Amino acid sequence: MIYLNAFLLVGIICVIGQLIIDNTKLTNGHITSIFVVLGALLSFLGFYDYLTEYSFIGSKVPITSFGNLLYKACLEGYMENGILGMFTNLLTTTSAGISSAVIFAFICTIFFKPKN
């Protein structure tokens, strides 16, 4: 049942993204930013923990989980070290994800050519 729930959650997120692409003039970068902010907002409201219980790994795969991670890292850093802790903890918590995104983007540019 967990696999079905994970599939449904990620599928719904993808359908929402595709509907936004098809019906608006927003670019993929805009939509990605919207989903990151949406993940942080859902975490702020306490709803993202419910999604994690419902679909377990399905809530940790999409881009919304990055927003959730950013929010939790900022909050934890603020509780430990105040305003400065928000930024220092944010960088230590998300550095692996950011670094891997840069490395994989570089690898993709080696093998694929952009369209004109």
Q: What is the pLDDT of residue 19?
A: 94
Per-residue pLDDT of the chain (116 residues; tens, 9 = 90+): 888 888 888 888 889 999 999 999 999 889 999 999 999 999 999 988 888 888 877 777 778 888 888 899 899 999 998 888 888 888 787 788 788 889 999 999 898 887 76
CB 56 within 8 A of CB 6: yes
C-alpha 104/C-alpha 93 separation (Å) is: 19
Q: What DSSP line would sit under 43-89, residue for residue?
A: HHTT-HHHHHHHHGGGGTSSTHHHHHHHHHHHHHHHHHHSHHHHHHH
Q: What is the pLDDT of residue 116?
A: 61
**pTM (predicted TM-score):** 0.78
Q: What is the pLDDT of residue 33?
A: 92
Please report how the helices 48-55 and 2-23 are oriented relative to each other, as an axis angle in degrees rounded to 10: 130
